[in-house]
A and B are shown apart, each in its own frame.
Chain A
Amino acid sequence: MLAISVLMILPIIYIFNNAFKPYHELFVYPPTFFVREPSVQNFVELMLVTSNSIVPISRYIFNSVFIALLSVVGVTIVSVLCAYPLSKHEFPGKKFIFAAIILMLMFTPEVIQIPRYLVVSSLGILNTYWGHLLPALALPVGVFLLKQFIDQIPDSLLEASRIDGANEIIVLARIVIPMSMPAIATVAILAFQNAWGNLDTSALFMQDDEMKTFPFFLSTLTSNLANNVARQGAAAVAALVLLVPNLIFFVILQSKVISTMAHSGIK
């Protein structure tokens, strides 16, 4: 068991080490796994790579952070708003909508990129932040997980506060949301992962370089990395930048995620 987990984590440890390796160590033979003389040279290089181009790296990072934050907030609000009635209200069409969401769990955006592009372009949000944000809001898995989690909140609690005169918005804000915090945290993590690593919206929906995100910048750095000596150090640092926020979020919220996933079953 330990051996497998070491094997799984090996490439991750390796990328941490590589990020701090100075050039002469990156290409030494035989290759070394652990860094011997840690240096921040690669970080400096990553900053300098873009210094003579029009779009500075800070712009890419700003775009990424901005979009990731907005989509985390957006996805959680939109998903919880949708999950609550699906779980606790009775209304015509409810079964159908939930069935549609489960059905769409299984289709991935990658397969339908062309019509997605057509939709985005006909909405006139190409090259705007909306083009990054709106497609990210449709995260069926988020609604699904939240709905399953809200299912186990006892109806009597909701009834009690309705009798006290609370309207649906207050019930949602005072009872449902506080009680489903683990699931909300999970959805937030998923939304963050989606937005943070998303390359497609930058590649397809954005034409101007200053609207693109950090992963896109990274992909331009690494194209042809296989036969390219330059920039490997910078690329390792960039990979680290992409990975670390995800990792930190997950470590903090891990127990919440696991408790949410216990309700993830499809019955």
Chain B
Amino acid sequence: MLSKAWSYRTSYLFITPFLICFILFIVLPIIASVGLSFTYYNGIERPRFIGWSNFQYLIAQDMLFLKYALPNTFKFAIVVGPGGYAAAFLLAWLISRLRGSYRKWVALAMYTPSLTIGTAMTIIWLPLLSGDRIGYLNSFLLRIGFIDVPKLWVTKPELLMNSMIVVTLWSSMGVGFLAMLAGILNVDRTLYEAGRIDGIRNHLQELWFITIPSMKPQMLFGAVMAIVTTFKTGAIGVELSGQNPTPQYAGHLIVNHINDYGFIRFEMGYASTISVFLLIFMYFANKLSWKLFGSKEE
């Protein structure tokens, strides 16, 4: 057994550095999360095992979670996830139909927003959405007569969520978008010709019968990336409104809820419970996209 392992030593040696980091900072934390979710842990005392009560509290009593974090996340995720994904695919398809060097610059214009991560994003959007008449959006809408009074885009609870969705969508054309663009560009040209002979008449049919089936793997990768972006977004509401928690919890997402319990109230056990819940949520979202785009082989 050992001598067998020894014969693979180079392979193991090569993967070890990554594997150590991977286990330490990704696998172990996830396992620890699951473990801690069954305990009461405040960061100072030793974790105390309390069984399922964190989960019971989460799904039965945590009003903030049930009334704000969960529905908000649902709404946010449904628009930003599938919506953003469809938009990314559509844009990639449209770009692939452009010609020459022109295409490169349009792709760049789409991708650039995703580079403005975190704080930089806030700085860019705050003046645009600012609630007084100096805000660019307000000023523009006032001038064309669409609204009479400046709207509080980021501090009014009803509007904050929409602003969050728009800003997130704006910045969501990242790696997944590039993957899909590359996927479309790499579809075998001869397939299109063959399709035309077989009676495909318009571009939509081409898209449906040829492009999508031949780029399923990239679409799956794009979907996984879209899910990741959707669920990791949390700080955006706090940053836009400048208040933590957001006004009337309008922008309170599950990630905010985790940070709230973990780093403000120091109820780390309970915060882990929420994380586990979110991880399960993400897992099923992924399972779904696997069903949709996964290849049937294997």
Where the two chains meet, the residues of A that have a C-beta atom closer than 8 Å to any C-beta of B are 1-2, 4-6, 8-9, 11-12, 14-15, 18, 27, 29-31, 33, 77-79, 81-82, 84-86, 89, 91-92, 94, 97, 100-101, 104-116, 118-119, 123, 134-135, 137-138, 140-141, 143, 167-168, 172, 190, 193, 197, 199, 204, 215, 218-219, 222-227, 232, 235-236, 238-239, 242-243, 246-247, 250-251, 254-255, 257-262, 264-267
Contact = CB atoms under 8 A, between A and B. Distances in A.
Contacts of A168: 10, 14
A266 B227 CA distance: 15
B19 A97 contact: yes
Interface in B131-148: 131, 133-136, 139, 143
A82 B10 contact: no
A258 B122 CA distance: 28
Contacts of A97: 15, 19
Residue from the set A9, A14, A97, A106 with the largest chain B CB neighbour count within 10 Å: A106
A265 B123 contact: no
Given A114-B268, A267-B217, A91 B126 contact: no
Nearest to A169: B10
Secondary structure dominating the interface of B: helix
A224 B132 CA distance: 15
Interface string B1-13: 0001100101110
17 contacts: A5-B109, A9-B113, A11-B113, A84-B14, A100-B22, A111-B255, A111-B278, A119-B28, A141-B175, A143-B18, A167-B10, A222-B123, A226-B155, A242-B119, A264-B179, A264-B217, A267-B217
Contact of A261 (B182, B258, B286): B182
A247 B126 CA distance: 21
A107 B120 contact: no
Interface string B203-237: 00000000000011110110010011001101000
Residue from the set A11, A137, A267 with the largest chain B CB neighbour count within 10 Å: A11
Contacts of A226: 126, 130-131, 154-155, 241-242
Contacts of B250: none
Interface string B176-198: 00110111011000000000000
B17 interface: yes
A134 B21 CA distance: 7
B200 interface: no
Contacts of B17: 77-78, 81-82, 137
B116 A114 contact: no
B219 to A, nearest CB: 8
Contacts of B242: 223-227
A239 B175 contact: no
Interface in B95-112: 95, 98, 104, 106-112
A214 to B, nearest CB: 10
Interface stretch (B29-37, B56-64, B69-77, B78-86): B29-37
Contacts of A9: 109, 112-113
B51 interface: no
Contacts of B14: 81-82, 84-85, 168, 172
B288 to A, nearest CB: 12
B165 interface: no
A1 B95 contact: yes
Given A82-B18, A115-B28, 18 more contacts: A8-B173, A11-B113, A78-B17, A106-B228, A109-B25, A113-B258, A114-B258, A114-B271, A115-B30, A138-B21, A197-B117, A222-B123, A232-B127, A236-B123, A242-B119, A258-B107, A261-B179, A266-B224
Residue from the set B94, B95, B224 with the largest chain A CB neighbour count within 10 Å: B224
B115 interface: yes
A222 B134 contact: no
B251 interface: no
B44 interface: no
Given A104-B22, A141-B175, A82 B15 contact: yes
B286 A118 contact: no
Contact of B116 (A118, A172, A243): A243
B218 A265 contact: yes
